[in-house]
Every structure is written in C-alpha cells, then in structure tokens.
A = this chain, B = another copy of it.
Amino acid sequence: MADVPESVLTSLDAHWRAANYLAAGQIYLMANPLLSEPLKPEHVKPRLLGHWGTSPGLNLIYTHLNRVIADRGQDTLAIWGPGHGGPAVVANSWLEGTYSEIYPDVARDTAGMGRLFKQFSFPGGVPSHVAPETPGSIHEGGELGYSLSHAYGAALDNPDLVVACVIGDGEAETGPLAASWHSNKFLDPVHDGAVLPILHLNGYKIANPAVLARLGDEELDDLLRGYGYDPVHVSGDEPMAVHREMAAVLDSTLDRIQAIQRAAREGVATERPRWPVIVLRTPKGWTGPAEVDGLPVENTWRAHQVPLPEVRTNPAHLAQLEAWLRSYRPEELFDESGAPTEQVLQCIPAGTRRLGATPYANGGLLLRELPLPPLERHAVAVERPGGEQNEPTRVLGRYLEELMAATTERRDFRLVGPDETASNRLDAVYGASGKAWQAETLPVDEHLDRHGRVMEILSEHTCQGWLEGYLLTGRHGLFSCYEAFVHIVDSMVNQHIKWLRTTRTLDWRRPIASLNYLLTSHVWRQDHNGFSHQDPGFIDHVLNKAPEAVRVYLPPDANTLLSVAEHCLASRDYVNVIVAGKQPTFGWLTLDEARTHCARGAGVWTWAGTENGSREPDVVLACAGDVPTLETLAAAQLLREFLPELAVRVVNVVDLARLLPNDEHPHGMKAAEYDALFTADKPVIFAYHGYPWLIHRLAYRRNGHQHLHVRGYKEIGTTTTPFDMVLRNDLDRYRLVMDVIDRVPDLAVRSAGVRQAMEDVRMRHHSWIREHGVDMPEVTDWAWRG
C-alpha cells in the first residue's frame, strides 16, 4: 500500500484536534462552547468530572479507523477498553453525525455542541464512561478486563467484520484480559471475522505506572508473540509523525488480516495464523497541560482524570484551560454555525460504516429468531410421576444438538463452557458441531473442529466475555457451568445486567437475546468433589440486580428443563439462570404438564399431596430445585404412610421470582395468588436448593410469612455421598417430616413416635454411609408410590 498523502494526514490531524477539543470541552464547559468570547469561570461546570488521560489516544485511534474504514469499505466495530474515556468516543460520534441522528437535540451546531458539553457527567445527562447511551458501543468501560473477550465474541461468525479492540495498559493487568489473549486459538479465519487488538500503552493508571508499559519492547514483544500475535509498534509524541506511522501500520495490519483470511478461506492455509497486534505508545493526557502548579501532568498519572481541577476558583488554571482549548485552533475546525469543517470530516465513512452507526453495535437490529426445535422430539415419556429416571442435562443436550444442527448455515448460536460440556452431559451437541480449536491437534483428540461452535476454555471469564460479545452483536447462546464456579463471573454478570437495564430505557437500542446460564453439577451433587465445589449463591447474587432483567429457574426434571430452556432461548434482554442436575433424576411431569407448570412458574402437584379438595391443607410442603423436590416427595410419601390423616399439599416452584410480590418483580405473584397456593396461615415447609434465607428475603412481605420454614444449603459440605449432603444440611426427607410434626399445631404430642422413628432412621443412614461409603438402598432404590 502506498504512503498516505500528507493532505490526508493533515485532515486526520484536524479531526483528531477537533475530537480532543470536544473531549476537553465535555469535561469542562457548560457555556461558550466555541470560545467565541474569553473564557470565564461561569462557563465552566461547577463540578469537574471525567477522564482526560486516555482521551487523546482514543481520539487518535477513532480518527485513524475512520480513514481505513472509508478507504476500504471495511465493516468495523470498535471496542474501547479504556471506556472511562467516555468524552472521546462521544466526541467522535458527534463529529461523524451519528450522535445527532440518535439524539437530535445534540445537533452538529453551536447549540448542539453546547448541549454536548453540558450534558456530559451532568445530572440528567450522559454518564462519564462509554455506556449503553453511547452510539457504537457494546462495552462499558467502567469495570476493566473484558474488552478483548468481548471483541472475540463479536467477531465470531461475522466473517466480514473487523473488531478493533483498544486495550488500556491498566486493563491489561487484569486476569480476565490476560487470559483472553489466547482467544486467537479459538477464532476460525474462515467463518469468523478478525480481531485487531490495539494495546495502548500510555504508561500510567490512576496512580501508578502500568506494568506492560515498563517491560521494554523486547520483553513485551516476547509476551505478545507468546500469546500468538505478531506485534507492530507505533509510538511517539509528535502528532504528524504519529499520524504517518499510525496510518501506515493500520493499512499494513489490515492487509495482513485480509491475507490471512484469504489464505484460510481459499483453503491454502490450515495452520493457526499469527494475527497482528498494534502496540501504540503515546503520552497519557497528550496535548493537555504539560505542567500544573509546577508538577508534570502530561505523560504522567496526574493526567488520568481532570488535569486542571480548580478552574472556577483559580485564575491561573482558568487561563491554562483557555490556552489548552485554544491550542486546538477550534476556529479552523468548526464553522460559524458550530459544524465541523469539511477538512475535519474528510476521512469519515458514510452511513452504517460509521463506528457510531454500525448495526453490529446494536445487535438487536441483526437478531433473528432462533429456529427452536419442537420439544416433543426430545421430551421423555412420563407415564406416571417418578416412574423412570433420566439425566436432565443429557436430555437437554440432544435438544441443543438439534438446535446446533438447525443453525449450521446461519451460524448464530454458540454453546460456551469452561471445559465442562461433556462433564455436564451436554456432549450430544458434538453430533452437530465440534469444539472450536485452532491450535495443534493430535490423533487421539476428539470433537476438535476448526469450524466448531462449541467453545471450551478453562476460563469462566473468557467464556462469559465471548458470549456477551456474541449476544451484544445480535446472536444467541448458552453458558453451561458448574454452579459453584459461576461466582467467578459475578462481577461480569453485574455489569451485563446493568447494561441490559439501561438499554431497556433507550428506544434506539433493539432487544438482544438473553444471556442464558445452565448451572449444573450443582451443590447437592458435588458430593464427590467436596466443599470447594459446593456453592448455590449465584442465585442470590443475581436476584440482587434489576428485577426487569433477571430470571431464575429451578426445573425439577427433564421435561421442565426442556420447557424452561426453550423459553429462555426465545427470550430477550434477560439474564436467565437455570439450575438443573445432570445426575439421573425421576421424571415427574409429562411435556404438556411441564409446559403448563413452567408457564405458571409455581403450582400445586395435586397427585403428590393428600389434601381433600374441599378444605385447606394442614401443611404445605413446598420445594424448588431437583434434589429438594425429590426429598419433598419422599417426605410426602412418608407422611402418607405414617400420618395418613394429615392433609398435605405439595407445591413446586420453578420460577423463583414468583415468590416476590408483584410490585417488586414482573413475575411476582399477587397476594391472593400466593395465598391460594401457600395458604395465608398454614405451616409451609419449604425445601429449597440454595441458601434458605433467600426464600425469606423473597417472601417476607407475604401473609403467613411467620409460618414459613425453609430448609436448604447451610454451607456444610465435604467429600461424601449425595444423601449425606442433604442429611448434613437438614434437607433430607426425614427432617422434613420432623419439621411438619414440629410445626403443625397439636401434632407434636400425638406424633412423638413418628418423630422418633425419623430421628432413628437418620442415625441409621449416618452410620451406614460411614461404614459402606454409599447411600442406603432405601434411598438409592426409592421410588414414588403415590
């Protein structure tokens, strides 16, 4: 490629200066946007917020991406890892016009520029970071570490897309980012697009030098080559020289990407390619104040946020700000109306090629309905409740296989998981797609596939980041994970839910597919792996978040799992948490019954109870989760046998949010519904999958809450047998019977013998398990007799 002409470089510099001016203006000004009069204190915001330090670098990259996108007609999505530099990205989308198209109040004129400035980090205005409100963004820059995995997720199955991913040297220190470099071993150059990482070394974080910036080029290149990339450097602090170098390097790296893709797509190359990475070294706070109050600011950590903090009260700061802003020569960059000049706009692409207008950043625009297979083909036969056992996730795996096959051509569904797909018994999917893998293979390997859509890497963070990037760009997916270890991504799901909550308030953001978790290998069946693998708290974590964006399902058997999965896969803008077992479990409901039950979210299992339809029950046995449901039914059977006069109702809850009041969650039951199900004043013995107090937290406003008694996981665990786990946590069938005896009025005295028998049998189990190392036959051979 020929050198970029000087005239183009001059126009790029004008664009860059304009963006820098607009970024600084957003941080400081609430009036006099074009400096048409001398700057006065009252033009400056009373509270100065924002991050200047990273902004000039982001502006440089945006400016140069514009040129190559326009020149090449290259579909491009940008991910701004240092997204706290919100003013930069907003400035660029205003310059290119997308901002005003979405927010017409903020037009490309003087008044619009005034609004652009004032609204930034201002109450009722726009956030200080790149956020859902920012055109062209799929990535909030507040919590660091996820830019590169988001970029790879976006590139998957988008063969024509280049995802330019700016990684700050601060972010690069985080674990999730460090792991995600290896995503290149999973990117298919044939069916996927490309990721162009741009590692921006501006040298400093909030208060410290950045580690990668202090390695020296040789060690850093070793690292990036070790990550499988081919590093190319751009560095400097003289703008025109940097423009020249940056333009040339962007051209050469994009040429290289095209060459890689061509070779792979023409079948010439089958080796894992060495993709390029750009290492960009420019000063933090470049072009801002060099010194403030005698201390160096530009190219130090002091440029991180607001370099001149006392502009309203300190005339020297005010003068320095004015000089700084005028150094960009705004009069050359904006015409009298306040619009950017032709020179500024010369290299900007058109239409949806603009970074702020690309549909890839508003994935709902690209989203297609999934071709969900009929559940009927996969449902298990349930001739009577508890007749047969099957492995629910294995049943789901066959359904997912058909879904995977149905999306072979469309390539818009992926299954991700940390090396656990087979362990979680979803391996039927390999019948329709292998596992994405571009690294070396050996003859002994199975199901590895250069074009596979099952993604497995032993990093929950990378799995989560990939899937978020995939969904945010308009596709579908499921994350299967050991229940305990999904806590590893607690903070990532926080941020995703915050994103969803905000996009729901923005009309221009189209709904995207929900983020679906299948949590299996759960707390009750990690008896073999022990205490470290036993944790049901992700449900609690998620239920703290925005109720409009969060759903939790605990299907008790295979058919309910199918029904819930179908619902979740078709839903939009939620985080759906499905907790389901992989071990053999009784089928309780036919597919039709399962559909009805799941649609209601909670219901009476009349076949399991002993209440006479004409009166209220004496006690309600409620349950949520597969193991608690089993123990509850076993308890109901014991009650039939030992206390046949007792009217017992069995209620199963699939959709946990049903327990919340209807004014606290869209799925919440009204008071009358709740009372009809649980009664207003009868004892409720609730066997719950997770921490018992969660049920109280959901139901404390309910009538009869004082009669609600919950059993669940009390954080007691070790390596033992499955039944010992429920015994230790007082969730076992015998304990539930004892709870009934203790809580139903007047029952304790006349049932003292039954209670003692339950105590005794618990002790027998305890001894047997310790002697034999397995559960007693009366547990392993138990079946519902109805």
Which residues of A are interface residues toward B (Cβ below 8 A)? 30, 45-47, 49, 84, 121-129, 131, 140-145, 170-171, 173-182, 185, 205-211, 214-216, 219-228, 296, 299-300, 419-423, 435, 437, 439-442, 444-445, 448, 456-462, 484-485, 487-488, 490-491, 494-495, 498, 501-502, 528-533, 535, 537, 540-541, 544-546, 691, 693-694, 696-697, 700, 705, 715, 718-721, 724, 769-770, 772-774
Contacts and interface: CB of A to CB of B under 8 A. Distances in A.
A535 B492 CA distance: 12
Nearest to A300: B444
B490 A206 contact: no
A458 B47 CA distance: 27
B207 A123 contact: no
A442 B207 CA distance: 14
Contact of A214 (B299, B439, B529): B439
A720 B141 CA distance: 17
A170 B460 CA distance: 12
B457 A211 contact: yes
A396 to B, nearest CB: 18
Nearest to A141: B532
B140 A494 contact: no
A221 B226 contact: yes
Nearest to A664: B693
Most interface-central of A124, A423, A498, A719 (chain B CB within 10 A): A719
12 contacts: A49-B719, A123-B720, A129-B719, A145-B488, A174-B458, A179-B179, A206-B420, A215-B228, A222-B223, A485-B491, A544-B693, A700-B705
Nearest to A83: B532
A57 to B, nearest CB: 17
Contacts of A210: 458
Nearest to A48: B528
Please classify the interface of chain A as helix (H, G, I), strand (E, B), loop, or mixed, using the class held by over half of its residues.
loop
Nearest to A461: B175
Nearest to A457: B173
B209 A448 contact: yes
Contacts of A533: 142-143
Contacts of A45: 773
A83 B520 CA distance: 22
Nearest to A532: B142
Nearest to A124: B770
Given A458-B170, A696-B700, A494 B128 contact: no
A423 B724 CA distance: 49
Given A211-B439, A491-B487, A696-B696, A719 B125 contact: yes
B49 A209 contact: no
A552 to B, nearest CB: 15
A688 to B, nearest CB: 13
A437 to B, nearest CB: 8
B47 A145 contact: no
Given A221-B226, A222-B223, A223-B226, 17 more contacts: A47-B721, A84-B529, A123-B769, A140-B532, A173-B458, A173-B459, A174-B458, A175-B179, A185-B214, A206-B423, A215-B228, A224-B226, A299-B444, A487-B494, A502-B531, A540-B540, A540-B544
A213 to B, nearest CB: 9
Count of identical protomers in the assembly: 2
A345 to B, nearest CB: 29
Contact of A544 (B207, B219, B705, B715): B715
Given A125-B719, A126-B719, A715-B546, A207 B142 contact: no
B182 A173 contact: yes
Given A501-B715, A773-B123, A226 B220 contact: yes
Most interface-central of A178, A528, A774 (chain B CB within 10 A): A178
Most interface-central of A207, A210, A435, A769 (chain B CB within 10 A): A207
A419 B721 contact: no
Contacts of A126: 719
A663 to B, nearest CB: 13
A22 B17 CA distance: 70
Contacts of A769: 123-124
A125 B440 CA distance: 41
A691 B145 CA distance: 26
B208 A419 contact: yes
Contacts of A421: 207
Given A121-B719, A223-B223, A127 B531 contact: yes
A721 B170 contact: no
Q: Which 3 A-B pairs have the closest CB atoms?
A: A223-B226, A142-B532, A175-B175
A180 B174 CA distance: 9
B30 A773 contact: yes
A439 B123 contact: no
A777 to B, nearest CB: 12
A157 to B, nearest CB: 21
Contacts of A691: 544
A161 to B, nearest CB: 24
A46 B143 contact: no
B175 A721 contact: no
Contacts of A140: 532
A490 to B, nearest CB: 4
Contacts of A123: 720-721, 724, 769-770, 773
A671 B145 CA distance: 46
Contacts of A182: 173, 178, 211
Most interface-central of A128, A205, A226, A721 (chain B CB within 10 A): A226
A20 B573 CA distance: 52
B545 A715 contact: yes
A588 to B, nearest CB: 26
Nearest to A545: B715
A29 to B, nearest CB: 12
A174 B175 contact: yes
Given A487-B490, A715-B544, A175 B173 contact: no
Given A185-B211, A715-B545, A222 B226 contact: yes
B540 A46 contact: no
A31 to B, nearest CB: 12
A462 B211 contact: no
B491 A488 contact: yes
A759 to B, nearest CB: 19
B207 A131 contact: no
A582 to B, nearest CB: 13
Contacts of A461: 174-175
A484 B143 contact: yes
Contacts of A495: 532
Contact of A532 (B143, B170, B207): B143
A530 B222 contact: no
Contacts of A541: 490, 537, 540-541
Contact of A774 (B47, B171, B437, B773): B47
